[in-house]
Amino acid sequence: MSTAEIPRHGIATVCLSGTLEDKLTAAAAAGFDGVEIFENDLVCSPASPARIGGLCAELGLSVDLYQPFRDFEAVPPDVLAANLRRAERKFDVMEQLGADTMLVCSTVSPDAVDDDDLAAEQLHLLAERAAARGLRIAYEALAWGRFVDTYDHSWRIVRRADHPALGVCLDSFHVLSRGSDPAGIRVIPGEKIFFLQLADAPKLHMDVLQWSRHHRLFPGQGSFDLAGFVGTVLGTGYAGPLSLEVFNDVFRQADPRRAAVDAMRSLLALREPLDGDTLPPAPELSGHAFTELAVDEAAEPVLAGALGALGFTHTGRHRSKPVQLWEQRDARILLNSAPREHARDGGADVTALAVESSDPVASARRAESLLSPVLPRETGADEAALSSVAAPDGTAVFFCRTGEAAPGSWREDFSPTGNATVAGTGITGTDHVSLTQPFDNFDEAALFYRSVLGLRPEQATEFAAPFGLVRSRAVSDDSARVRIALTVARLRRGDWAPRVPSPQHVAFTSDDAIACAAALRERGAPLLEIPGNYYDDLDARLAPPGELLATLREHSVLYDRDETGAFLHFYTDVLGGRVFFEVVQRLDGYTGYGANNAPVRMAAHRHPHA
């Protein structure tokens, strides 16, 4: 695709929170080329349509669509007359705005009749009125339209109406939510597709109207095949914008400046398989290099003590910053005690995760192309220039190469402590990092890790935890060498309850979790006690062999089993207010995270010494 043919990027104002002026400013700042003006946003604005049109022009935004116009077609003559009057009033607005296309949704009105000929005849009339004013009508089948609820039906009516100012509007949600095959779009001439609206969505079993109005997502955040859909539409010769129309309860109240960036990132990532070389490809990732914790004065000795008890050795001191490197085999933790301007919830936080990249510079370039904020970093003269970007929750993501011989390795920034290596406890590396997300940024984070790092998001799951519903979604590379688990309290998280942390944790790998737990207990590591009731229930549910059960119980090791394999894991107490560690052992290719056991852990973290 040549540059001239690159589709323009659009967004409906209904995607974003705030007043119309907030929304337009945010869309322009994120780099959108055009907007769909959602009627209610205009109605609420103190600025006249002409002034809004002028503001769009100043911001470099074209007004690509005015929407929605509802319940027009297939009605008795008196209703038609009223509807045409209503349309003319809206044409007045569009002229002032500088919008040339109006979206007309298929009717849901009790006044309408099931008569395609009548619908076509009346839409022809509307298109005639529009054409007289230099405007066009894009007719869209709502998935819950009363008579017209599929794109092919809307196209049959548009073809029958046969007016140059009448075409269809295709909306990926309305097509894909019904399970319609988009292949049939290929019979529609591209110039008769007047507009293309894009939305992703999670698979939900619910009323399609409620699904559409509350749970749409930006492309790449849900489970629709948007790339296939857009490819089919572009194949018709459609040359209009790729325009997002996402109704989402979270985005409706989130900062529109961030949501607009998230939206633009979704379009850039969506275009990658279509346009080829628009983005630097995602270099292969081969593991977790290190995880950095910021610690305050009180938390530092707690974390250092715990790492020592876990069998880590304090091997390095940063050459210019108050940062300790702790290692055990391929598991590495940095403790950073530099004062911070914006400490989050506690005295210890996960502030950075570092992944091994086959090409750190290319990883950072890709991140930047996908609108990730590149983090400034003060680097000493002989220190590695580490590339890092900010994830949506503020966590720094570093791209690095740890291999001793690798030039520019981050390890060169550390001078050896000379400490004798502690006898290890069987921890071999990092399995995953688990980050509790701010409420507004959960779906944004999944898209960030998917698009920027090239990781694959799993389906989101929800579970009832002791202090409220928790949603969880993991992302990992195809070889599962980099795993990040994202969680969020679905509503809030038991504000009433004291000592309920909003925790983050690092999970280490072990080849023998039980031996590791035994060794750690021996060393006095602050391990989390698991209630006996858990093991009684485990016995009833999964009936592990009696000896295994006794051992699990003795060492407070949890167990899970599913169709992919089995899982042994155990936890430390919460350390320094917010952070804890986990040790996991995956058997027979188990791919999960022991989510069934998470409520037990959460309750136990409230009762550490019960």
Residues that bind its own copies (CB under 8 A): 14, 17-19, 22, 39-49, 82, 85-86, 89-90, 92-93, 205-207, 210, 214, 247, 249-250, 252-256, 439, 464, 466-469, 489-497, 529, 531-534, 536-537, 539-541, 543, 599-600, 602-604, 606-607, 610
Spatial distance between the Cα atoms of 483 and 266, rounded to a whole number of angstroms: 21
The minimum distance between CB 448 and its own copies, in angstroms, equals 19
Residue 101 main-chain phi, psi, to 5 deg? -125, 135
The minimum distance between CB 72 and its own copies, in angstroms, equals 12
Q: Which is nearer to its own copies, 181 or 537 (by Cβ)?
A: 537
The minimum distance between CB 597 and its own copies, in angstroms, equals 10
Answer yes or no: is 140 a known binding residue: yes
Give the Å distances, CA to CA, from 115 to 146, 148, 160, 279: 11, 10, 12, 48
The minimum distance between CB 576 and its own copies, in angstroms, equals 23
The minimum distance between CB 530 and its own copies, in angstroms, equals 9
Farthest-apart Cα atoms in the chain, separation: 91
Question: How many angstroms from the chain centroid is the CA of residue 157?
Answer: 37
Residue type, 379: T
The minimum distance between CB 109 and its own copies, in angstroms, equals 14
Q: Which is nearer to its own copies, 223 or 402 (by Cβ)?
A: 223
The minimum distance between CB 128 and its own copies, in angstroms, equals 19
Q: Which is nearer to its own copies, 219 or 256 (by Cβ)?
A: 256
Q: Which is nearer to its own copies, 201 or 519 (by Cβ)?
A: 201
Task: Determine contact, residues 436/445, Cβ cutoff 8 Å.
Answer: no
Q: Which is nearer to its own copies, 308 or 494 (by Cβ)?
A: 494
Answer yes or no: is 272 a known binding residue: no
Task: Determine contact, residues 15/245, Cβ cutoff 8 Å.
Answer: yes
Answer yes or no: is 197 a known binding residue: yes
The minimum distance between CB 102 and its own copies, in angstroms, equals 12
Residue type, 584: V
Q: Which is nearer to its own copies, 326 or 571 (by Cβ)?
A: 571
Spatial distance between the Cα atoms of 371 and 315, rounded to a whole number of angstroms: 36
Task: Determine contact, residues 65/37, Cβ cutoff 8 Å.
Answer: yes
CA atoms within 13 A on the CB side of 320: 11
Spatial distance between the Cα atoms of 580 and 508, rounded to a whole number of angstroms: 11
Q: List, as one string, the DSSP characters of 496-539.
A: TSTT----EEEEEEES-HHHHHHHHHHTT--BPP--HHHHHHHH
Answer yes or no: is 432 a known binding residue: yes
Task: Determine contact, residues 287/357, Cβ cutoff 8 Å.
Answer: no
Task: Determine contact, residues 219/450, Cβ cutoff 8 Å.
Answer: no
Give the Å distances, CA to CA, from 119 to 106, 148, 160, 188, 482: 9, 10, 9, 19, 55
Residue 421 DSSP class:
P
Answer yes or no: is 121 a known binding residue: no
Give the Å distances, CA to CA, from 472 to 437, 502, 562, 566: 10, 13, 18, 20
Task: Determine contact, residues 590/565, Cβ cutoff 8 Å.
Answer: yes
The minimum distance between CB 133 and its own copies, in angstroms, equals 15
Residue 10 main-chain phi, psi, to 5 deg? -130, 165
Residue 374 main-chain phi, psi, to 5 deg? -80, 130
Spatial distance between the Cα atoms of 295 and 301, rounded to a whole number of angstroms: 9
Long-range contacts of 111-115 (CB under 8 A, 24+ apart): 111/71, 111/75, 111/76, 111/79, 112/71, 112/73, 112/74, 112/75, 112/146, 112/147, 113/74, 113/75, 114/74, 114/146, 114/147, 115/74
- CA-based Rg of the chain, rounded to a whole angstrom? 28
Q: Which is nearer to its own copies, 21 or 284 (by Cβ)?
A: 21
Q: Where are the alpha helices (DSSP H) in 30-142?
A: 39-43, 49-59, 77-97, 116-132
Answer yes or no: is 563 a known binding residue: no
Answer yes or no: is 505 a known binding residue: yes
Sign of torsion, CA 54 57 61 63? Answer: positive
Contacts of 562 (CB under 8 A, 6+ apart): 590, 592
| Binding positions for Mg(2+) | 432, 505, 582
| Binding positions | 140, 171, 197, 245, 432, 505, 582
